[in-house]
Amino acid sequence: MRALVGRTARAVRIVLRDGGIPKPLRWLVAIGLAPIPGPIGEIVLLLVAALLFVFYRGRLARAWREAGVSSSGMPSHHEQIEELARSYTAAWCSRDAAAVAAHYVPGGTIAINGGEPAGIEEVAASFIAAFPDITVYLDELVVGDEAVEYRWTFTGTSSETGKWVRIPGSEVWTIGADVLIETSTGTFDEAEYERQLRDGA
């Protein structure tokens, strides 16, 4: 029961963090999280969770998944995705195509700007060859029910033109087994990319 209440509290906090929840519900949550002796706080939290289930079911379901921590202390799914994104970013910065590909399921693919899907290791190797000093920055991570959006900026010096570029973009991931990327759809401004290759950032 205690684990259920703890997970409920975390899920309710996640829903409130998104905003758009009426003030009366927020006041109830404040009461439920206050250090009140006895079961009153737990009862209020469960009541709030029931109201959220009725009126904000989708949000609560997503928050419940994010708040889930197993009895062994394993990280939640959301935390695993965050760690995947951080490690993926570090792999790009290591300039090791195999390390980048290790974040995908076997046979995982990426399609860029509407192109045909290609093996991630091949794509990573081509980018690293084109920008030997490539550095990738994680700008934002948006975790949804069906997909994850990984927003990035990469910088590097073109091996062809010698110009330093700074290009923002994003990838939309579907997550497969073992919290690895199954497919990725990447986008960036190709016209700006070509301009920077000529003129620099």
User: What pLDDT, in 10s, does the model give residues 131-143?
Assistant: 999 999 999 998 8
User: What pLDDT, in 10s, does the model give residues 25-36?
Assistant: 666 666 665 555
What is the Cα–Cα distance from 181 to 101, expressed in whole angstroms? 9
CA distances from 12 to 38, 44, 90 (A): 20, 11, 32
pLDDT (average), residues 42-68: 70
Q: Which CATH architecture has domain 77-199?
A: Roll (3.10)
Is the per-residue pLDDT at 4 higher than 70?
Answer: no
Q: Is the CB of residue 86 less than 8 Å from the CB of residue 138?
A: yes
What is this structure's pTM? 0.64
Residue 87's H or E segment, with its range, is: helix 77-94
User: What pLDDT, in 10s, does the model give residues 151-198?
Assistant: 999 999 999 999 999 999 999 999 886 789 999 999 999 999 999 999
- pLDDT at residue 50, as a whole number: 75
What is the Cα–Cα distance from 6 to 10, expressed in whole angstroms? 6
User: What pLDDT, in 10s, does the model give residues 36-48?
Assistant: 555 666 676 677 7
The answer to which of 12-21, 105-114, 135-144 has the lowest mean pLDDT is: 12-21
CB within 8 Å of 182: residues ≥ 6 apart? 104, 105, 108, 173, 174, 175, 176
Q: What is the DSSP letter of 103?
A: T
Percent pLDDT > 70 in the chain is: 71
- pLDDT at residue 35, as a whole number: 57
The residues facing 121 across adjacent strands are: none
Better pLDDT: 53 or 161: 161
Taking all residues of the chain, what is their mean pLDDT, rounded to a whole number? 81
Residues of the chain within CATH 3.10.450.50 domain(s) are 77-199
Is the per-residue pLDDT at 9 higher than 90?
Answer: no
**Sorting pLDDT into bands at 50, 70 and 90, what band is 146?**
confident
The answer to which of 7-16, 145-154, 180-189 has the lowest mean pLDDT is: 7-16
Is the per-residue pLDDT at 117 higher than 80?
Answer: yes
pLDDT (average), residues 100-105: 91
